[in-house]
Chains A and B, each alone.
Chain A
Amino acid sequence: MKVTLKVWRQKNATSAGEFKTYSSPELNENMSFLEMLDVINEDLAIKGEEPIAFDHDCREGICGTCSLVIDGKPHGPHKGVATCQTYMRSFKNGDEIVIEPWRAKAFPIIKDLVCDRKAFDRIQHAGGFISVRTGAAPDANSIPVPKEDADLAMDAAQCIGCGACVAACKNASAMLFVAAKVSHLGLMPQGQPERYKRVKAMVDQMDAEGFGSCTITGSCEAVCPKEISLDFIARMNRDYAVALFKGEPKKTAGGGAG
């Protein structure tokens, strides 16, 4: 099979970008989408044209590095499948495929199809953890966790941090990502002491990064390669409301005896 690609090319964050058209050499339908791009890039390299920059690493749908909006849809045509696990058998001979980067104010473009997702990390620095010093943990079985809670927490914890939810949202909101993190930790008994402080800190950082507001259209859930449920957003909103009612924790007097 052969396809035509319309690919977003952009030299760096400050320069203007444009679509460029490339025709593929003969492809095999069992190639992954990224292997198809490898073939195109090898072809470009031989011709002396600079290869298309795109982000990828594990190529098994778990590291969250790959991105790409394919024909208008983050991660391409299939539900619950990341770009790296999309195969050319999902396309037809002669198709024109449009490939763009994630587009969001909080994810500035670095080059071509690569964008900067460090905003996600900064949200995590603000509260995406349970504070437990190494070596200070009790025996693992001393804190039983109901299987249903552990399973639901795992559903949320599967998030691979790719940012497709942001790319799909008309407001470039990061609510599904933050909700997944908040819910995973908030569902575990170990996460209770910091539950409300955490949600407040993470949502505040999310706002500071320039992500948009959520209007619950559900486009995030539709493109999530791990099919993280919109229900987690409701759960986070509940926790956030409680956090607001609770207000800032009362400052205790410092110091102590001795």
Chain B
Amino acid sequence: MATLNSNIPAGPLASKWEKHKFSSKLINPANKRKYKVIVVGAGLAGASASATLAELGYEVHNFVFHDSPRRAHSVAAQGGINAAKNYQNDGDSVHRLFYDTIKGGDYRARESNVHRLAEVSVNIIDQCAAQGVPFAREYGGLLDNRSFGGAQVSRTFYARGQTGQQLLLGAYSALNKMIGAGAVKSHTHSEMLDLVVVDGHAKGIIVRNLQTGEIARHSADAVVLATGGYGNVYNLSTYARGSNVTASWRAYKRGATFANPCYTQIHPTCIPVSGDYQSKLTLMSESLRNDGRIWVPKRKEDCGKNPADIAEGDRDYYLERMYSAFGNLAPRDVASRAAKYVCDEGRGVGETGLGVYLDFAESIKRLGESKVRERYGNLFSMYHEITNEDAYKTPMRIYPAVHYTMGGLWVDYNLMSNIPGLFVLGEANFSDHGANRLGASALMQGLSDGYFVLPATISTYLATVKAGQRPATDKAEFKEAEDNVSGFIKRVTSGNGKRSPDSFLKELGKVMWDHCGMARTADGLQKGIQLIGSLREEYRTNLKVLGDIDGWNQSIEKAGRVADFIELGELMCRDALMREESCGGHFREEYQYTAADPEVQQGIVNAGDVKRRDDQFAFVAAWEYAGAADKAPILNKEDLKYEEVKMSTRSYK
């Protein structure tokens, strides 16, 4: 069994972080430069951490598989970033942001981490504004805000529909400054393929240069993974095609525990699937739900009609009906499930019947088309490019799609995994969003971890390591890890199979969506595990990877990533099967409220809403690798102890 010590500081919730920072060990400036830190990834978390650690004086090496540290998928976040600034004077506070996030996560996040996130949120906005991020402004020159799901205040800062891009370019600019100053060494086109653990501590990585095919060893005093989420296990998702689980998965196979892998976010507003050739689903920002109204026809017979011909009285604005307090701004898991229900009833629209309308007619009437264009113009044109439809004239059609993963490598309060010296930031860790993430909170968490949390906590570990004592790369552990990587590449390129890595991912994605998607059952999950088992076996024997080992070869890159996705998919199903409750995005059909429940009769929740079982499942499930892919992983538990908030039934009515 792994040792999981969350290292949550003692004392009242609101003062834990301040107290912890004060009691953390410091390293004097002259010694900092003797410590080398590897950061893998340069999205919001990786770029901000690299830049900040370098400012503090550490020797930082940053690795990305992209050609440039500006391309990570943080760049695609559209809507905004939350912060408890209360610039709108609408009753926001650190405590309210904390509470909304805990409740939004369906009481499955770690309380202390979430409070820290809310505290730090205000610093993030200051930092980004100072970097020149062109946030939206009011005419007086002050910052503008909008609303996002799961909140009744306007606390979301934004830069048109490109907030993630602008925040990433901000973090990238901070990184550029430090690369230019020689304080960060940037390794681009460099994919991490293994973690090197020496005497139980993370001390380096093995990297493949995608341009030359060269495999290299890098040692360090600490390794930081900021490598994003794993939603591409479903093949079709809003993730970038290159997003993958490989760095996290290789760390898992070296002993890092993987927490809550089944917690997946299915985003309610994406452009529906149109054909089996499709490679990617496109998100339409949640911010659209500020001004768009979601509906389907009341009667099945109307579904094929032109929406303009369906009278107001024949429309079912189902979110407004079911969740009147939050309406169209119900949280993502709730809104997605509601869309699934109305489509399952046969009231979905569009060719496949898997779609609902997102209608702007009323806002255009109220605000004028030019105001709507100013707020969402780029999203409307993106919708037009993909569907060839004009959403100013006819409602958008949307459907839920995989968008984010709340699960990830287990970390303690210092963001360190159970392998000492291995830190995990951003979407790659598990700690802040519980079983459902609220909109505009991913950007907040990535930057919080990178700019403010890790730079303050990493010294606690480094102070225990003697400066200048990191192992040389000729140590046996480095050789073993390198052989592991080159052995895999030799094996897959010399195979005599027939199928491409892409075709396997497509098949895996379908199994995952059908059996571990928006609604899960024990039978379905068992079936999923069985199907993935045979897929894993076929992958071993029937994979074909073309091209040379030396030099650019995208098939080799995919071969490794798909192998990891297959193993991860199985773990996700196992986790979902073990968790015999419903919470947030994890919906087990066996555990839902019905008309017979008092909570439904009292109007707190609707029939069909998720039903938690706090008495048995108020824990983080941290899975430990058992040494082989076909051996059942070991379950470790971290109990979730809430000091401030009472776990209660989540109501948005």
- Which A residues fall within an 8 A CB radius of B? 11-12, 28, 30-32, 34-35, 38-39, 41-42, 45-46, 48-51, 53, 55-65, 78, 80-81, 85, 87, 89, 110-111, 114, 116-118, 120-121, 124-141, 143-147, 150-151, 153-154, 157-158, 160-161, 184-185, 188, 190-191
- Alpha-carbon gap, A145 to B104, bound state (A): 33
Which stretch from B120-128, B357-365, B394-402, B631-639 is at the chain A interface? Answer: B120-128
Known contacts: A12-B551, A53-B554, A144-B140. The answer to whether A45 contacts B275 by CB under 8 A is no
A125 touches B176 (CB 8 A): yes
Known contacts: A110-B552, A184-B134. The answer to whether A147 contacts B73 by CB under 8 A is no
A-contacting residues, B593-642, CB 8 Å: none
B173 touches A135 (CB 8 A): no
A121 touches B176 (CB 8 A): yes
Query: Can you report 28 residue pairs joining A to B where beta carbons are below 8 Å apart?
Result: A38-B277, A38-B279, A50-B555, A51-B500, A57-B242, A58-B73, A58-B76, A59-B282, A60-B238, A63-B73, A63-B240, A81-B385, A87-B386, A121-B188, A134-B48, A134-B55, A134-B174, A134-B452, A135-B451, A137-B126, A137-B130, A140-B129, A143-B130, A145-B137, A147-B139, A150-B137, A150-B141, A154-B159
- Alpha-carbon gap, A118 to B498, bound state (A): 36
A190 touches B143 (CB 8 A): no
State the Cβ distance, B380 to closest chain A Cβ, in Å. Answer: 13
- Alpha-carbon gap, A89 to B52, bound state (A): 46
- Alpha-carbon gap, A50 to B278, bound state (A): 22
A-contacting residues, B248-295, CB 8 Å: 274-275, 277-280, 282-283
State the Cβ distance, A224 to closest chain B Cβ, in Å. Answer: 14
A63 touches B455 (CB 8 A): no
A143 touches B555 (CB 8 A): no
Q: Give the residue of B52, B188, B282, B547 whose beta carbon is less than 8 angstroms from that of A118.
A: B188
A42 touches B132 (CB 8 A): no
Known contacts: A63-B75, A135-B452. The answer to whether A188 contacts B134 by CB under 8 A is yes
State the Cβ distance, A175 to closest chain B Cβ, in Å. Answer: 19
State the Cβ distance, A104 to closest chain B Cβ, in Å. Answer: 15
State the Cβ distance, B208 to closest chain A Cβ, in Å. Answer: 15
List chain B residues, Cβ under 8 A from A45. Answer: 500, 502, 544, 546, 555
- Alpha-carbon gap, A162 to B252, bound state (A): 35
Q: Give the residue of A59, A124, A141, A151 whose beta carbon is less than 8 angstroms from that of B173.
A: A124
Known contacts: A145-B141, A147-B139. The answer to whether A58 contacts B554 by CB under 8 A is no
Contact with A along B544-566 (1 / 0, CB 8 A): 10110001101100000000000
Known contacts: A31-B275, A150-B136. The answer to whether A129 contacts B123 by CB under 8 A is no
- Alpha-carbon gap, A65 to B64, bound state (A): 14
Q: Is the interface of A mostly helix, strand, loop or mixed?
A: loop
Q: Give the residue of A28, A56, A154, A158 whose beta carbon is less than 8 angstroms from that of B275.
A: A28
Known contacts: A51-B555, A64-B71. The answer to whether A30 contacts B275 by CB under 8 A is yes
Which chain B residue has the least Cβ–Cβ distance from A13? Answer: B211
- Alpha-carbon gap, A85 to B186, bound state (A): 30
A141 touches B382 (CB 8 A): no
B52 touches A157 (CB 8 A): no
Which chain A residue has the least Cβ–Cβ distance from B271? Answer: A60
- Alpha-carbon gap, A32 to B498, bound state (A): 26
B176 touches A129 (CB 8 A): yes
B132 touches A191 (CB 8 A): yes
List chain B residues, Cβ under 8 A from A51. Answer: 500, 546-547, 554-555
Contact with A along B2-22 (1 / 0, CB 8 A): 000000000000000000000
A134 touches B451 (CB 8 A): yes
A57 touches B71 (CB 8 A): yes
Known contacts: A63-B240, A111-B552. The answer to whether A30 contacts B129 by CB under 8 A is no
B206 at the binding interface (Cβ < 8 Å): no
- Alpha-carbon gap, A34 to B386, bound state (A): 13
Which chain B residue has the least Cβ–Cβ distance from A190? Answer: B132
A134 touches B52 (CB 8 A): yes
List chain B residues, Cβ under 8 A from A129. Answer: 131, 173-174, 176-177, 180
List chain A residues, Cβ under 8 A from B241. Answer: 56-59
Which chain A residue has the least Cβ–Cβ distance from B450? Answer: A134
A48 touches B546 (CB 8 A): yes
List chain B residues, Cβ under 8 A from A85. Answer: 382, 385-386
B87 at the binding interface (Cβ < 8 Å): yes
Q: Give the residue of A63, A157, A161 whose beta carbon is less than 8 angstroms from that of B166.
A: A157
B410 at the binding interface (Cβ < 8 Å): no
Q: Give the residue of A28, A30, A64, A158 whose beta carbon is less than 8 angstroms from that of B70.
A: A64
Known contacts: A35-B277, A130-B132, A145-B141. The answer to whether A158 contacts B162 by CB under 8 A is yes
List chain B residues, Cβ under 8 A from A55. Answer: 67
List chain B residues, Cβ under 8 A from A117. Answer: 67-68
B215 at the binding interface (Cβ < 8 Å): no
B108 at the binding interface (Cβ < 8 Å): no
B63 at the binding interface (Cβ < 8 Å): no
B277 touches A140 (CB 8 A): no
B135 at the binding interface (Cβ < 8 Å): yes
B218 at the binding interface (Cβ < 8 Å): no
List chain A residues, Cβ under 8 A from B480. Answer: none
A59 touches B279 (CB 8 A): yes
- Alpha-carbon gap, A50 to B283, bound state (A): 32
- Alpha-carbon gap, A117 to B69, bound state (A): 12
Q: Give the residue of B132, B137, B240 whose beta carbon is less than 8 angstroms from that of A147.
A: B137
List chain B residues, Cβ under 8 A from A158. Answer: 162, 165
Which chain A residue has the least Cβ–Cβ distance from B181? Answer: A125
A139 touches B126 (CB 8 A): yes
A59 touches B130 (CB 8 A): no
Contact with A along B177-205 (1 / 0, CB 8 A): 10110000010100000000000000000
List chain B residues, Cβ under 8 A from A146. Answer: 137, 141
